[in-house]
Chain A
Amino acid sequence: MKWLVFALLGVGVPLAGQAAQIAAVGVENQYADVIAQIGGPYVQVTAIETDPNTDPHSFEISPRIAEQIAGCGLIVENGLGYDDWADKMLAAAPDPSRKVINVQALLGLPDDTPNPHLWYDPKTMPVVAKAVAAGLAALDPSNARYFMAHAAAFDAALKPWFFAIKSFKAGFPGTPVAVTEPVGDDMLQAAGTDIKTPFTLQAAIMNGTDPSPQDVTTQNALFTGHAVKIFVYNQQVTDPLTQSFLALAQAQSIPVVGVDETMPAGYQYQSWMLAEVNALRAALVSGKSTRSLP
């Protein structure tokens, strides 16, 4: 019954053409998705980092994006240097009523946190969802109950992912894996895997600096010695070195699971994360490679 009421509200309000929608920005499209799921018809969401073929670490700003950020009522940014440019845009267009949700600050993480890919951590989005609901409620108090209820629904929809992580951890404890770059590390750790790739190599690939030969040798040996069962490959941060790792893993018949910096098309945050864990499981159970999510 409750759902029916929400559904009716959801359809009814925009048709009635009442209160203006809140303009919101999710700097990365996974955050935009969370805002959209919670704000429903009362929010007009724009995602900035959406292109799966580019590397968000080396993003360039356009005047149109500056305008969108300057005009928004609520924005979710990742922090940890991942989207510093958004802070500059916000500082250039001050607006005391704007709700700025910096996920790093929200989680209380220090600036020297090595892995900025916070959205792969199962603990992150419930906190973000709560903050988004509170921010939207402050901007549009008449729909506060709607936002709170949808934040709860968002959390409920995360359950299958949490369950998949838990059962992976229980079924395949300490699974040794190799990675290119740290994008999926938080999820891999939650799933109890043992990430064998040296973090210095992951950082070099993430930052586009010269890798050390010692680390490259270590990584190559992981594949040739079959010391890992899965190779987790970031498809958005690639170079000739990551491609050589990919070729080596494939030559050694080590299943590859692709991960992304931003949410691929056709997914919501929850279904995306669940698909990643399912791909890890398929890699272990049947040796199936999922280079990119279908």
Chain B
Amino acid sequence: MLGFFTSSPVQTALAVSAGAAIVSAVIGVFTIIRGQSFAGHALADISSAGGAAAYLVGVSPMLGFLGVAVIGAGALEVLGVKRAAERDLVTGIVLGAGLGLTALLLYFDVTARSTTGAAVSVMFGSMFAIPPAIVVPALLIGAGAVGATGLIYRPLLLCAAAPELAAVAGVSPRLIGFLHLLILALAVTLSAMTVGAILSTALLIGPAAAALRLTRQAGAAIALAAGIGLVSAWGGIALAYESYGWTPGRTWPVSFFIVTIVFAFYLLSGLRARAA
């Protein structure tokens, strides 16, 4: 187990995944209260186009994820519709267009450039292949997201829980909604780097949903969700590291372990909530 902590790919994975898990959990709580889980999922999937484009032009995938997630947040805001049913529709359409673009870009990645495995990395993550140089910018993005959430904590909560009250209090629900999407884009960027664009939803929604089943108090839910996210991410990395001995010389995908632990937390929280 000593090798686990001294291994540089493990250290990088622990650092980046911690940032991803905490930021996703924090913003995930607001996302669920606002009923925007589907938007969060869509934003994550769309960001895959950025990851694929980054491979094509040869820049860090993180820049790609970030750029497209922010553009996606802007698109959802511009197309923004109040009624929930219509909002899902618009989100679904933007999601489809984004994934179509990803398909094209991944095709170019593998046919026009020597980027083996780009599809797997972008969609499902390759945490042990993250270059160590990513750690500092990733943690800065994470700190920015948490800091921004802290700054607009009260209006964010008010808009999420009682939009009518927020308007009376002089808060612009539209502005707050857009800021929420922007922070969401930052969270998605980090989780796409770790568990991949497709699986980002699990980190965003899973820990927050489990926490909200255990407590209805926003502050406590945020802390609990961050804890669940962190345990899932680090537990997943440890299990993936251990799996080296299960099928000789091959580690199982770390994304699988993380998502499975998140799912287990969600199921357990259901038992606990029912008992209470």
Q: A residues engaging B (CB < 8 A)?
A: 53-55, 57-60, 198-200, 204-217, 220, 235-241, 243-244
The CA of A235 and the CA of B116, in the complex, are separated in Å by 11
Contacts of B240 in A (CB 8 A): 213
Sample of 11 more A-B contacts, CB < 8 Å, known A212-B244, A239-B121, A240-B121? A54-B112, A58-B116, A200-B249, A204-B250, A212-B128, A214-B251, A216-B129, A217-B3, A217-B10, A238-B114, A244-B132
The CA of A205 and the CA of B128, in the complex, are separated in Å by 12
Contacts of A54 in B (CB 8 A): 110-114
The CA of A237 and the CA of B13, in the complex, are separated in Å by 23
Contact A55 B110 (CB under 8 A): yes
| Residues A239 and B117 in contact in the complex (CB < 8 Å), given A58-B110, A211-B129 | yes
Residue of B nearest to A208 (CB): B117
Contact B117 A207 (CB under 8 A): yes
Contact B7 A216 (CB under 8 A): yes
| Residues A210 and B129 in contact in the complex (CB < 8 Å), given A215-B249, A217-B7, A240-B61 | yes
The residue that A209 contacts in the complex, of B3, B112, B117, with Cβ under 8 A, is B117
| Residues A212 and B249 in contact in the complex (CB < 8 Å), given A54-B110, A220-B8, A243-B131 | yes
B98 an interface residue at 8 Å Cβ cutoff? no
The residue that A208 contacts in the complex, of B8, B118, B128, B132, with Cβ under 8 A, is B118
The CA of A55 and the CA of B7, in the complex, are separated in Å by 30
A-B contact pairs, 14 of them (CB 8 A): A54-B112, A58-B111, A60-B107, A198-B249, A200-B249, A207-B117, A210-B127, A211-B9, A211-B128, A213-B128, A213-B241, A214-B244, A240-B131, A241-B131
Listed from nearest, the 10 A-B pairs whose CB atoms lie closest are A208-B117, A200-B249, A212-B251, A58-B110, A241-B129, A213-B9, A208-B116, A216-B9, A217-B7, A213-B128
The CA of A205 and the CA of B7, in the complex, are separated in Å by 19
Contact B114 A235 (CB under 8 A): yes
Contact A237 B8 (CB under 8 A): no
Contacts of B269 in A (CB 8 A): none
Chain B: interface residue total (CB-CB under 8 A): 39
Contacts of B127 in A (CB 8 A): 210
B253 an interface residue at 8 Å Cβ cutoff? yes
Contact B114 A210 (CB under 8 A): no
Contacts of A53 in B (CB 8 A): 112-114
Contact A237 B114 (CB under 8 A): yes
Contacts of A199 in B (CB 8 A): 249
Q: Which of A55, A207, A210, A241 has the most CB of B within 10 A?
A: A210
Contacts of A198 in B (CB 8 A): 249
Contacts of B107 in A (CB 8 A): 60
For chain B residues 246-276, which have a beta carbon within 8 Å of chain A?
Answer: 248-251, 253-254
The CA of A87 and the CA of B116, in the complex, are separated in Å by 23
CB distance from B24 to the nearest CB of A (A): 20
